[in-house]
């Protein structure tokens, strides 16, 4: 049942007014999009979106993603008007000010109802694809009574032009995600000017080619909007709704130009817009009738929510679904048993293979784990017996063939994690973390448990050469805040790192794994990786050297220590599978591993087959950093290690030089 048009128009104009007023007050922000899409968003939020502002964590709510995140005042207005506890009007007044949850771009960790952190263009839509995948998967597992909702996206031309968008829509079309609907703010304007400055693409034909349903509407005609949304909702394919809008609609002198995209309207134009819109209210004032219409609309989902709760009580008697949505892990006894077994063994395996062995256990234990690879399944070793293919015909599958779409994969993983109920992991070569780096960053910023499986982690991959050999990638991932970067040394550490990755629900993980086989380096001290770094072997002779290494260089550090000890030089070996976790340890633990004595007394040496910048944090002045400060080369991996000096024969003399120097 829809309100009469003029009352709906007033509601939409409230969004416009709040948006332009907030941007004006901040003297910073993007009024064009919220004003342009106010009518579409008003119809969507008052008549279509399934949500309950009183219960923003309702598992079966529709997900709404503002992919064009710069238009953040749109969602802040909608959340406030429909009656979410936050943002308050004061918080909207403080738009873009320190401490306000109304940040420049919507941030999922600041406000309920903001389902994803958006702004980096294209990623909102790509995360929405992941949400829609999670929805279909959970629907397949738990059925319609528990999971049956839509994912709505508002996207702009910027989103649609980005490469990641094309990866995302290719995936969505292939997987026939019919419950995903994208509302395209088709306003013909980008920051630089008209879209035709940089694009001649037939967007509708493009989406059709990806298997989407496409329709369009006048984005300022409520009836037309309803018709298009109905059509989108009905079509079994994912839908693109081209909403023809005027950017900055309501600002009479600036609307329809790039001038309203990213700048405040200015006081004069705000006044003019008030006049144009017939909005005679003070800044930030929403008249009673309009607010009460909005709040009334906000209660629309209460009964659906209530009915869902009844169904949940009936269908989720064990609480399994609720636990899963809450991200809880099952008991890990099976895993602990396997770890004990591996500790007592002596397996030489590549850590990517070790990861597969671990994943066999974990995916059998944890139904929430949904894996995949960007077309490197056999190389990333990400598929297990428990994970059949997730396809349009088989949404209960737990393995996604993402195709050659690394960025799209990483963003979809984030979307699944944000949706809840799924713990996504996905593989590519470590070098191609470059292709999806900003999605890894957004996982960290959003505090979600995405687990990136990054194999072929050094020159050890061999013949594929420098285009494929990571040199700077491990260290560069370490620079991303709130990301745990693991580089395990053997099967045991690989198992430990996987467990740690699962146990940090608010921190994503990058697990860097070798192509080549590695000897086992430890047979006791289960979960020693948990402190990020630990003394793998203590010096026998008087300690003169501390060797630190990660991953495939740990056994090399042990070899160096053997040689040094043979010469009567005591050498500790520290394995550091996760620098970030080590940083979190207390000073006593750190000082035990790395005593604060002058380098003349104990020489610190790092060994890692990657760039050295960063290792000085631990090796200090006059330490020794063994690494690769250049691009690699094409040759068998063992020859490259030799060629680039990663042998005990090459390293030990350097250490001796330092000791004697």
- Report 139-178 residues binding a copy of itself (CB under 8 A): 157-159, 161-167, 170-171, 173-174
Rank residues 253 and 438 by Cβ distance to a copy of itself and give the closer one.
Answer: 438
Determine, following the binding rule CB under 8 A, whether residue 326 of this chain makes contact with a copy of itself. Answer: no
264 is an annotated ligand-binding site residue = no
Near a copy of itself in 120-139, by CB under 8 A: 120-121
Rank residues 134 and 374 by Cβ distance to a copy of itself and give the closer one.
Answer: 374
DSSP 3-state helix, strand, coil percentages of the chain (rounded to 5)?
Answer: 45, 15, 40
164 is an annotated ligand-binding site residue = no
Among 331, 333, 378, 385, binds a copy of itself (CB under 8 A): 378
- Angle at alpha carbon of residue 364, lines to 361 and 367, rounded to 5°: 130
Determine, following the binding rule CB under 8 A, whether residue 284 of this chain makes contact with a copy of itself. Answer: no
Among 5, 85, 89, 197, binds a copy of itself (CB under 8 A): 197
Determine, following the binding rule CB under 8 A, whether residue 647 of this chain makes contact with a copy of itself. Answer: no
CB of 344 to a copy of itself, least distance (A): 34
The dihedral over CA atoms of 651, 657, 658, 661, expressed in degrees to the nearest 10, equals -170
What are the Cα distances from residue 240, in Å, to 161, 234, 434, 483, 656? Answer: 14, 12, 29, 34, 66
Determine, following the binding rule CB under 8 A, whether residue 650 of this chain makes contact with a copy of itself. Answer: no
Determine, following the binding rule CB under 8 A, whether residue 640 of this chain makes contact with a copy of itself. Answer: yes
Near a copy of itself in 546-565, by CB under 8 A: none
Determine, following the binding rule CB under 8 A, whether residue 87 of this chain makes contact with a copy of itself. Answer: no
Edge-first strand order for the sheet with 603-607 is 534-537, 570-575, 543-549, 603-607, 624-626
**How many Å apart are CA 574 and CA 576, to the nearest integer?**
6
**How many Å apart are CA 240 and CA 208, to the nearest integer?**
9
Determine, following the binding rule CB under 8 A, whether residue 504 of this chain makes contact with a copy of itself. Answer: no
Determine, following the binding rule CB under 8 A, whether residue 646 of this chain makes contact with a copy of itself. Answer: no
- Neighbour count for residue 317 (Cβ, 10 Å): 9
Respond yes or no: is residue 406 known to be catalytic.
yes
Determine, following the binding rule CB under 8 A, whether residue 620 of this chain makes contact with a copy of itself. Answer: yes
352 is an annotated ligand-binding site residue = yes
634 is an annotated ligand-binding site residue = no
- Neighbour count for residue 466 (Cβ, 10 Å): 14
For the chain, counts of helices (H) and of strands (E): 26, 20
- E strand or H helix at 25, and its extent? helix 5-26
337 is an annotated ligand-binding site residue = no
* Cα–Cα nearest to 451, from 518, 399, 497: 497
Determine, following the binding rule CB under 8 A, whether residue 572 of this chain makes contact with a copy of itself. Answer: no
Near a copy of itself in 9-38, by CB under 8 A: 26, 28-29
Among 631, 649, 653, 657, binds a copy of itself (CB under 8 A): 631
Rank residues 379 and 585 by Cβ distance to a copy of itself and give the closer one.
Answer: 379
Determine, following the binding rule CB under 8 A, whether residue 614 of this chain makes contact with a copy of itself. Answer: yes
298 is an annotated ligand-binding site residue = no
Determine, following the binding rule CB under 8 A, whether residue 86 of this chain makes contact with a copy of itself. Answer: no
Among 467, 524, 587, 660, binds a copy of itself (CB under 8 A): 467
**How many Å apart are CA 612 and CA 624, to the nearest integer?**
10
* Cα–Cα nearest to 76, from 96, 46, 55, 48: 96
User: 3-state DSSP call for residue 215?
Assistant: strand
**How many Å apart are CA 358 and CA 339, to the nearest integer?**
9
**How many Å apart are CA 554 and CA 574, to the nearest integer?**
8
Determine, following the binding rule CB under 8 A, whether residue 532 of this chain makes contact with a copy of itself. Answer: no
Rank residues 14 and 175 by Cβ distance to a copy of itself and give the closer one.
Answer: 175
For residue 282, what is the DSSP state?
P
Rank residues 397 and 530 by Cβ distance to a copy of itself and give the closer one.
Answer: 397
464 is an annotated ligand-binding site residue = yes
**How many Å apart are CA 132 and CA 152, to the nearest integer?**
9
Which listed range, 59-67, 191-199, 217-225, 488-496, lies at the site for a copy of itself (CB under 8 A)? 191-199
432 is an annotated ligand-binding site residue = yes
The backbone torsions φ and ψ at residue 121, rounded to the nearest 5 degrees and listed phi first, read: -65, 145
Determine, following the binding rule CB under 8 A, whether residue 591 of this chain makes contact with a copy of itself. Answer: no
456 is an annotated ligand-binding site residue = yes
Determine, following the binding rule CB under 8 A, whether residue 97 of this chain makes contact with a copy of itself. Answer: yes
DSSP 294-341: HHHHHTTTHHHHHHHHHHHHHH-TTSHHHHHHTTPPPP-HHHHHHHHH
Determine, following the binding rule CB under 8 A, whether residue 401 of this chain makes contact with a copy of itself. Answer: yes
Question: Residue positions in the annotated binding site for thiamine diphosphate?
Answer: 70, 119-121, 158, 187, 261, 432
Active site residues: 406
Question: Residue positions in the annotated binding site?
Answer: 30, 70, 119-121, 157-158, 187, 189, 261, 352, 379, 432, 456, 464, 468, 515
Question: Residue positions in the annotated binding site for Mg(2+)?
Answer: 157, 187, 189
């Amino acid at each position: 049942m829809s309100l009469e048009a003029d009352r709906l128009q007033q509601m939409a104009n409230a969004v416009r007014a709040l948006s332009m007023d907030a941007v004006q007050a901040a003297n910073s922000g993007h009024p064009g999009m919220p004003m342009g899409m106010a009518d579409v968003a008003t119809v969507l939020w008052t008549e279509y979106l399934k949500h309950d502002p009183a219960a923003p964590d309702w598992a079966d709510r529709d997900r709404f993603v503002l992919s064009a995140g710069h238009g953040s005042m749109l969602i802040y207005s909608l959340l406030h008007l429909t009656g979410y506890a936050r943002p308050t009007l004061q918080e909207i007044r403080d738009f873009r000010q320190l401490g306000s949850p109304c940040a420049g771009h919507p941030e999922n960790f600041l406000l309920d109802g903001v389902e994803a952190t958006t702004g980096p263009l294209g990623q909102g839509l790509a995360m929405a694809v992941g949400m829609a995948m999670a929805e279909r998967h959970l629907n397949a597992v738990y059925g319609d009574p528990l999971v049956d909702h839509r994912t709505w996206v508002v996207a702009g031309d910027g989103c649609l032009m980005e490469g990641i968008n094309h990866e995302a829509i290719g995936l969505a079309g292939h997987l026939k995600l019919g419950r995903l609907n994208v509302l395209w703010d088709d306003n013909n304007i980008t920051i630089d000017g008209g879209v035709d400055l940089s694009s001649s693409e037939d967007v509708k034909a493009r989406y059709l080619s990806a298997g989407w349903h496409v329709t369009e509407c006048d984005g300022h005609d409520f009836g037309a909007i309803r018709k298009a949304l109905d059509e989108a909702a009905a079509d079994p394919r994912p839908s693109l709704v081209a909403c023809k809008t005027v950017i900055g609609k309501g600002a009479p002198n600036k609307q329809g130009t790039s001038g309203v995209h990213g700048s405040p309207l200015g006081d004069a134009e705000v006044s003019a817009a008030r006049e144009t819109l017939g909005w005679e209210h003070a800044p930030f004032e929403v008249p009673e009738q309009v607010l009460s219409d909005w709040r009334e609309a906000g209660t629309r989902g209460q009964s659906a929510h209530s009915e869902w709760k009844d169904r949940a009580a009936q269908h989720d008697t064990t609480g399994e679904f609720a636990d899963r949505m809450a991200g809880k892990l099952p008991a890990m006894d099976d895993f602990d048993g396997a770890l004990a077994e591996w500790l007592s063994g002596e397996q030489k395996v590549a850590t990517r293979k070790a990861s597969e062995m671990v994943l066999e256990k974990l995916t059998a234990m944890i139904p929430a784990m949904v894996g995949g690879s960007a077309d490197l399944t056999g190389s990333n070793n990400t598929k297990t017996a428990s994970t059949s293919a997730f396809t349009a015909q088989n949404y209960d599958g737990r393995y996604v063939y993402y195709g050659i779409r690394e960025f799209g994969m990483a963003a979809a993983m984030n979307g699944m994690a944000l949706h809840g109920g799924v713990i996504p992991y996905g593989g590519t070569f470590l070098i191609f973390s470059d292709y999806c780096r900003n999605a890894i960053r957004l996982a960290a910023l959003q505090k979600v448990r995405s687990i990136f499986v990054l194999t072929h982690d050094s020159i050890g991959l061999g013949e594929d050469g420098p285009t494929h050999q990571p040199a700077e990638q491990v260290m560069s991932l370490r620079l991303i805040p709130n990301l745990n970067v693991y580089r395990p040394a053997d099967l045991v550490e690989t198992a430990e790192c996987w467990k740690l990755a699962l146990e940090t629900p608010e921190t994503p993980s990058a697990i860097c794994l070798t192509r080549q086989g590695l000897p086992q380096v430890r047979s006791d001290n289960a979960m020693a990786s948990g402190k990020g770094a630990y003394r793998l072997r203590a010096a026998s002779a008087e300690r003169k050297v501390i060797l630190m290494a990660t991953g495939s260089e740990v056994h090399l550090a042990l070899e160096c220590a053997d040689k040094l000890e043979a010469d009567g030089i005591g050498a500790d070996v520290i394995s550091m599978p996760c620098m970030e976790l080590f940083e979190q340890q207390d000073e006593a633990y750190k000082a035990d591993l790395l005593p604060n004595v002058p380098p003349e007394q104990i020489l610190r040496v790092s060994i890692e087959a990657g760039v050295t910048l960063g290792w000085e944090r631990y090796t200090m002045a006059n330490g020794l950093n063994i690494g690769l400060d250049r691009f690699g080369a094409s040759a068998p991996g063992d020859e490259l290690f030799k060629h680039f000096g990663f042998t005990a024969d090459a390293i030990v003399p350097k250490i001796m030089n330092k000791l004697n120097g």
